[in-house]
Amino acid sequence: MWLKSQILLLYCIASEVWMAKQLNSRRNLPWGLYSVEDRGSAGWDRLKRSLYQGKSCRIRGCCTGRNDDCSFNIASRAAICYCDQFCATGPPGPVDCCADYWDVCDNTVEPTRSDEPWPPPTSGCYKDGRYYGEGTIIKDNCNSCKCFQSNWKCSNEVCLVRPDLIQNINSGDYGWKADNYSQFWGMTLEEGFKKRLGTLPPSHSLLNMKEIPGSSPPEGKFPEFFAATYAWPEWIHDPLDQRNCGASWAFSTASVAADRIAIHSDGEITDNLSVQNLISCDTKNQHGCNGGSIDGAWRYLKTHGVVSYACYPSFWKHHLDPPGENHCYVSSEYGQNYTNGPCPNDLEKSNRLYRCGSHYRVSSKETDIMEEIMDKGPVQAIMKVYEDFFLYKEGIYRHSYKAGSKWKTHSVKLLGYPALWSMNCGVHYLTKMDRNRNSGFPMKTFFILIPENESQ
Ligand SMILES: *[C@@H]1O[C@H](CO)[C@@H](O)[C@H](O)[C@H]1NC(C)=O
Ligand SMILES: *[C@@H]1O[C@H](CO)[C@@H](O)[C@H](O)[C@H]1NC(C)=O
Ligand SMILES: *[C@@H]1O[C@H](CO)[C@@H](O)[C@H](O)[C@H]1NC(C)=O
pLDDT band at 260 (very low <50, low <70, confident <90, very high): very high
Ligand number nearest to the C-alpha of 164: 1
Domain range annotation of the chain: 44-114, 125-154, 166-454
Q: How far is CA 261 from CA 47, 134, 253, 270, 382, in A?
A: 78, 61, 12, 7, 21
Ligand 3 neighbour 336 (Cβ under 6 A): yes
Ligand 1 neighbour 185 (Cβ under 6 A): yes
Ligand number nearest to the C-alpha of 240: 2
Q: How far is residue 158's CA from residue 15's CA, in Å, rounded to a whole number?
A: 53
Query: How close is the Cα of 272 to the center of ligand 2, in Å?
Result: 6
Task: Return the ligand 2 atom nearest residue 308 CA.
Answer: 14
Q: How far is CA 43 from CA 14, 40, 49, in A?
A: 16, 5, 10
Query: How close is the Cα of 349 to the center of ligand 3, in Å?
Result: 19
Residue 307 has pLDDT above 90, yes or no: yes
Are 251 and 299 contacting, i.e. CB atoms less than 8 angstroms apart? no
pLDDT band at 52 (very low <50, low <70, confident <90, very high): very low
Query: How close is the Cα of 335 to the center of ligand 3, in Å?
Result: 8
pTM: 0.69
pLDDT band at 103 (very low <50, low <70, confident <90, very high): confident
pLDDT band at 94 (very low <50, low <70, confident <90, very high): low
**Tens digit of pLDDT for each residue in 155-180?**
999 999 999 999 999 998 888 889 99
Q: Which of 93-107, 146-160, 170-184 has the lowest mean pLDDT?
A: 93-107
Task: Return the ligand 3 atom nearest residue 336 CA.
Answer: 13
Ligand number nearest to the C-alpha of 241: 2
> Pick the residue with more confidence: 46 or 366?
366
Ligand 2 neighbour 272 (Cβ under 6 A): yes
Q: How far is residue 447's CA from residue 325's CA, in Å, rounded to a whole number?
A: 30
Ligand number nearest to the C-alpha of 276: 2
pLDDT at 419: 54
Bridge partners (DSSP) of residue 145 are: 138, 154
Bridge partners (DSSP) of residue 132 are: 125
**Mutation choice for ligand 2 from 272, 347, 443, CB with most ligand atoms inside 8 A:** 272
Cα 361 → chain centroid: 33
Give the sign of the dihedral formed by CA 74, CA 79, CA 83, CA 88.
negative
If you take atom 9 of ligand 2, which residue's CA is the nearest one?
272
Q: How far is residue 61's CA from residue 447's CA, in Å, rounded to a whole number?
A: 50
CATH number for the segment(s) 166-454: 3.90.70.10
% the chain with pLDDT above 90: 33
